[in-house]
Amino acid sequence: MSRRFLLAQISDTHVRVDDEGASLRQLTRALAQARDYAADAILMTGDLVNDERDEEYAALATALIDPPAPLFLMPGNHDQRARIRAHFPTHQYLPQDGFLSFALDQFPVRIVCVDQIVPGETHGMLTDAQAEWLDRTLSVSSRPTIVALHHPPIATHDVLFDQIGLRDAKLLKTVISKHKHVRRIICGHHHRVVFGQVAHAPVIIAPSTSWAYGLALTDAQPIAPKTSEQPGWMLHIWSEQDGFVSHFMGL
């Protein structure tokens, strides 16, 4: 197994069937770039589709028939767990019921994915049960680990997104602080690149492949305007010698 590991993080694809194929074209471009960079794995960190519709998941499943690397799916607030299971029956890492949380142990870097969506709501929630699951899962191995979720666990100072981010983020901090081998926390939701920190672990918010949102620091500024900023994805590179580095990859 190579001592360098490349993880392509693709987030907030918002696949639709009424956008003349725009969202699918952006996803296809991101997958092609991941192939060009020889990604070892691809993780899609939520908001896979736009409106939780069966036809959107069907279109997404078709686009992902032949990915350039092992590909893994997480839900976001625009997703429905049952439809993800129904349209991706061969994704055996997904639990058959309950939360779609899982750990990937087959790579040099361990990846622990936390489903913290709240059906029917825009914000995320880390429950006591999920925090206990995360603590147990992180205790299994001390290998370098990425924790992935959809909602950012940090305050970004954006007027809208801090209201619809991860609630009970202090609970996540309590868990992460116990596990120094967690080297990155990655997420999506904001449709823009943001950096922060939880306990000792850097937090990286990935952009959307479909569109970028602007930043509103006050109520006087436009709330979540779509901007001309470049959409894209993140490439996280780990090596045994140098640790982690993360790159924004524009589309």
- Distance CA(18)–CA(188), nearest Å, equals 23
Task: Give the pLDDT means over successive 10-residue stretches in the chain (251 positions).
Answer: 86 97 97 98 98 97 97 98 98 96 97 97 96 98 97 96 94 97 98 98 98 95 92 97 96 96
Count of CB atoms situated within 10 Å of the CB of 166: 22
Domains and CATH numbers, the chain: 4-250 (3.60.21.10)
**Residue 220, Cβ neighbours under 10 Å: how many?**
7
Tokens of 228: 């001309």
Report DSSP letters for 216-237, one per residue. Answer: -SSTTSPSS-EESSPPEEEEEE
**Which residue in 175, 199, 171, 204 sits closest to 187, CA to CA?**
204
d(CA 103, CA 117): 17
Distance CA 6, CA 168 (A): 31
pLDDT at position 25: 97
Cβ proximity of 41 and 109 under 8 Å: no
Q: How far apart are CA 77 and CA 71, in angstroms?
A: 20
Q: Which helix (H) or strand (E) holds 246?
A: strand 243-250
pLDDT at res. 43: 98
Nearest to 127 by CA among 119, 136, 137, 117: 117
What pLDDT does 1 receive?
Answer: 44
| Distance separating the N- and C-terminal Cα atoms of the chain | 30
- Predicted pLDDT of residue 2: 53
Q: Within 10 Å of residue 160's Cβ, how many Cβ atoms?
A: 15
Transcribe 173-196 into DSSP letters.
Answer: HHHHTT-TTEEEEEE-SSSS-EEE
Residues 151, 11: contact at Cβ < 8 Å?
no
164-184 pLDDT, tens per residue? 999 989 999 999 999 999 999
Q: Would you say how long the chain is, in residues?
A: 251
Q: Return the closest-CA partner of residue 234 out of 218, 250, 220, 221.
A: 250
Which helix (H) or strand (E) segment holds residue 170: the answer is helix 169-176
